[in-house]
């Protein structure tokens, strides 16, 4: 009787290290970038939304090309190139601040988004391909946890370095995080299946099943940026100067949820979990919208994180369960592209809503969007997807082999 394959192999741990390194850069931007916009460029709430949204614009336009390159040349080259682009872009933040021109920062943010698109697509696809089928849920849940580890590292260290030494050392540290990711990525194995055929036409880049899941992801992912892009500025309205503890509560709560996700998702139906999670997200943003003090900000962040922690892993796995193995890269690219749309168009719109109606009005709008996503999730719109109603105690066969 052959022994069961290990879950957390050396290669899987390497993937986790690369993930934490990259998302340390992303996490650093949440407390630091709003202050950079306000203090170095004299920017407004709308400008904060714009610089975060332009990151997603870069991701959105690069995503189809990244998907094709991933299938043609492999996951590892995409990680290496993507992390190098992100490293160069961090130096670009320093240059933009020295010029004092907001348009220079806009260009840097689009470049950052292009590198981030390649990086995340390669990481997430590898996380579905590196483990054996029976361990995919657990490894992907742990991978999602490492995203939060990176966020926590970046959020806490970024704000502290910024307050102690300023913006330039902060973005030099971010460059170091990105280069660390490059070095780890070089040592990772290639996981692209031999039967993958790169898309020949643009319409082949996107997966039709994953597009339906992606639309729900768009609704909920707007909440992610509504919190992370604006919470630092919102918290300052309550006199909170060190927002990293609020962000750390959010990241820590999400991390705790993801530590148990693998086993929970292996036993309970996907749609039930997603419905409960989105209900918590709605409750969290409503607490933020009606907050009267810092205590409610912490409570809102905690409840919000309890729900949002489940969204991305569930959305990607629901889509992956319903597609052929050879389509995994397309599936991940499709679902995350809808997240990019939420990040770009959604974050841009939220910035203008906050400028016109305040952050309370913005969070009420976010709650309405998540509620719309919950309605879609429970409607016949997603009822045909294979993975949604299954109790995942056993691995699900690829879609092509199901009868």
Instruction: Work out the angle at residue 217's Cα, subtended by the Cα atoms of residues 212 and 222, and round it to the nearest 5 degrees.
Output: 140
The whole-number pLDDT of residue 318 equals 75
pLDDT at position 326, please? 62
Residue 279 three-state SS: helix
Q: What is the pLDDT along the chain (403 residues), one digit of tens a residue?
A: 455 667 677 888 899 999 999 999 998 998 999 999 999 999 888 899 889 888 878 887 887 778 778 778 888 999 999 999 999 999 999 999 999 999 999 999 999 999 998 888 888 888 878 777 677 767 877 887 788 789 889 988 999 999 999 999 999 999 999 999 999 999 988 887 766 655 545 555 566 667 778 888 888 888 988 898 888 889 988 988 888 889 889 888 988 887 787 678 777 787 888 889 999 999 999 999 999 999 999 999 999 999 998 887 787 777 777 666 666 667 777 777 787 777 777 787 888 899 899 999 999 999 999 999 899 888 877 665 554 433 343 343 333 333 2
Instruction: Provide the CA 279 distance to its chain's centre, in angstroms.
Output: 19
C-alpha angle 67-394-213 in degrees, rounded to nearest 5: 35
211, 334 Cβ separation under 8 angstroms: yes
DSSP 10-69: HHHHHHHHHHHHHHHHHHHHHHHHHHHHHHHH---HHHHHHHHHHHHHHHHHHHHHHHHH
Q: State how far the Cα of 274 lies from the Cα of 286, in Å rounded to an integer.
A: 18
Rounded CA-CA distance 68/333 in Å is 10
State the architecture of 10-392 in CATH terms: Up-down Bundle (1.20)
Instruction: Compute the distance between CA of residue 30 and CA of residue 227 in angstroms, rounded to an integer.
Output: 9
Number of Cα atoms under 13 Å in the Cβ half of residue 215: 13
pTM of the model: 0.71
Q: What is the pLDDT of residue 71?
A: 79
Domain residue limits, the chain:
10-392
Euclidean distance between the first and final Cα of the chain, in Å? 30
Q: What is the pLDDT of residue 67?
A: 74
Is residue 207 left, alpha or beta, with left meaning phi > 0 and alpha meaning psi from -120 to 50?
beta
pLDDT of residue 366: 94
What integer pLDDT is reported at residue 4 of this predicted model? 61
């Amino acid at each position: 009787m052959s022994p069961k394959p290990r879950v957390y192999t050396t290669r899987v741990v390497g993937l986790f290290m690369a993930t934490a390194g990259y998302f340390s850069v992303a996490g650093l931007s949440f407390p630091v970038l709003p202050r950079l916009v306000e203090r170095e460029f004299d920017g407004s709430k709308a400008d904060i939304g714009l610089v975060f949204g332009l990151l997603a614009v870069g991701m959105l336009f690069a995503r189809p090309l990244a998907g094709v390159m991933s299938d043609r040349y492999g996951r590892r080259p995409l990680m290496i190139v993507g992390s190098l682009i992100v490293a160069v872009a961090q130096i670009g933040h320093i240059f933009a601040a020295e010029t004092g021109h907001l348009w220079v920062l806009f260009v840097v943010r689009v470049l950052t988004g292009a590198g981030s698109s390649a990086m995340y697509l390669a990481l997430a696809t590898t996380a579905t391909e590196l483990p054996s089928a029976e361990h995919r849920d657990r490894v992907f849940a742990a991978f999602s946890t490492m995203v939060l580890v990176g966020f926590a590292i970046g959020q806490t260290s970024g704000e502290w370095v910024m307050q102690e030494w300023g913006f330039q050392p902060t973005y030099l540290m971010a460059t170091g995080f990105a280069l660390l990711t490059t070095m780890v990525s070089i040592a990772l194995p290639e996981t692209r299946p031999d039967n993958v055929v790169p898309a020949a036409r643009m319409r082949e880049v996107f997966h039709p099943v994953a597009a339906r899941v992606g639309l729900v992801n768009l609704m909920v992912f707007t909440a992610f940026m509504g919190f992370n892009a604006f919470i630092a500025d919102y918290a300052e309205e309550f006199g909170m100067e060190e927002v990293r503890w609020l962000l750390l509560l959010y990241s820590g709560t999400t991390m705790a949820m993801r530590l148990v996700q693998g086993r929970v998702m292996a036993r309970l139906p996907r749609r039930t979990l997603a419905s409960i999670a989105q209900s918590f997200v709605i409750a969290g943003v409503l607490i933020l919208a009606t907050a009267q003090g810092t205590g409610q900000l912490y409570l809102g962040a905690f409840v919000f994180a309890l729900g949002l922690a489940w969204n991305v892993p569930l959305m990607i796995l629901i889509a992956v369960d319903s597609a052929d193995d050879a389509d995994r890269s397309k599936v991940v690219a499709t679902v995350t592209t809808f997240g990019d749309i939420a990040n770009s168009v959604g974050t841009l719109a939220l910035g203008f809503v906050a400028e016109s109606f305040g952050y309370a009005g913005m969070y009420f709008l976010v709650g309405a969007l998540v509620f719309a996503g919950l309605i879609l999730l429970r409607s016949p719109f997603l009822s045909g997807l294979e993975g949604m109603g299954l109790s995942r105690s056993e691995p699900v066969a690829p879609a092509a082999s199901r009868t």
